Amino acid sequence: MKCSSLVTLGLVLFAAGLMGVTLTGCGSSAAQTGGDQARKANDQPKASTSTPSQGSGKGMAAIKQAADAGKYLFVFFSKTDDDQTLAMRKVFDKAMEKAADRAQGVAVKITDASEKAIVDKFDLSRAPMPLVLAIAPNGAITGGLPTKFEEQQLLDAFASPGTEKVMKSLQDGKIVFVCVQNGKTKSNDAAMQGVRDFKTDARFASATEIVTLDPTDKKEASFLTDLKVSPDTAEATTVFVAPPGVALGKFEGATNKDAFVEVLSKANTGCGPGGCGPSGCGPKQ
């Protein structure tokens, strides 16, 4: 097993401008190892895992409608109708016209009492306005554009299927194994062995997700570039990622659980705010 040094992945999370959305820790099971709870940010927007309910404003209804249709939802949040907001609304509307085949759009006033559910869901009461959030069909936030943005930035908020899965897991506070392999790569079973063993460990089971990618999938090309994995890789590659988007290591070939636990323990001294800090994920040694 060959492991690269720790690197930080921008993913789409940061490339899309979602710097303000704080992700929680690494899930309850791993986070509680040693009796500690993962820290949560109190003053930044964050995604919730709650299910949209009926009668809770057009914003929440739009989330469900878009998800049911398998489309993205772009939500234009605003507080006032000042010049900046009106200008950005025009940009938003033009982008939605161009993306109508794959996305739906909705405008929400955060001061509207009927929209309290969606404002609370993303903790937007103190967020800079206007703000657009791009939400994938699976609920992952793939873009967050505050105050001022361009049409192309909105259109660039669409992510690949693999990226959506990884981002959703990270936003749910989980750690993720991105397993890059196909029928032509070597050591596929051996590469999955350590991943499966880690996933079945009671300490990490509920806090771990596994996402498999084909290195030759052109739809995942940009994501694979972020992961620093070549589409021509000859050997199965595993990237170990923790919130908010930190690659704890990249492993080529066979893997084992103990190596993953060791990497996670070393990262336990602090992977960044809201991520794997001193009381974040991983067992205390």
pLDDT tens readout for residues 130-170: 999 999 999 999 999 999 999 999 999 999 999 999 999 99
- Confirm whether 161 is domain-assigned: no
Q: Which residues contact 50 (CB under 8 A, 6 or more apart)?
A: 121
> pLDDT class for 128, splitting at 50, 70, 90?
very high
- Confirm whether 186 is domain-assigned: yes
- Confirm whether 212 is domain-assigned: yes
- Confirm whether 163 is domain-assigned: no
- Do both 73 and 131 map to the same domain? yes
CA distance 136 to 5: 31
- Do both 192 and 262 map to the same domain? yes
Q: What is the mean pLDDT of the chain?
A: 82
CA distance 133 to 207: 25
- Confirm whether 242 is domain-assigned: yes
> pLDDT class for 171, splitting at 50, 70, 90?
very high
- Confirm whether 64 is domain-assigned: yes
- Do both 244 and 200 map to the same domain? yes
- Do both 194 and 124 map to the same domain? no
- Confirm whether 200 is domain-assigned: yes
CA-wise closest residue to 59 among 83, 76, 37 = 76
- Do both 64 and 136 map to the same domain? yes
Domain that holds residue 191: 2-15+22-38+173-267
> pLDDT class for 269, splitting at 50, 70, 90?
low
- Do both 29 and 67 map to the same domain? no
> pLDDT class for 3, splitting at 50, 70, 90?
low
**pLDDT for residue 267:** 85
- Do both 252 and 179 map to the same domain? yes
- Tell me the mean pLDDT in the region 191-207: 97
- Tell me the mean pLDDT in the region 253-279: 72
CATH of the domain at 86: 3.40.30.10
Q: Which residues contact 103 (CB under 8 A, 6 or more apart)?
A: 66, 71, 72, 73, 74, 96, 134, 158
In sequence order, what DSSP letters do the residues of 175-227 get, joined into one string? EEEEEE--TTSB-HHHHHHHHHHHHHSTTTGGGEEEEEE-TT-GGGHHHHHHT
Proportion of the chain above pLDDT 70, given as a percent? 75
Q: Which of residues 155, 188, 212 is at a domain's end? A: 155
CA-wise closest residue to 221 among 163, 157, 175, 182 = 163
- Confirm whether 248 is domain-assigned: yes
Half-sphere CA count of 73, side-chain side, radius 13 A: 25
Q: Which tops the pLDDT comparison, 221 or 40?
A: 221
> pLDDT class for 2, splitting at 50, 70, 90?
low
Question: Per the structure, how many domains does the chain have?
Answer: 2
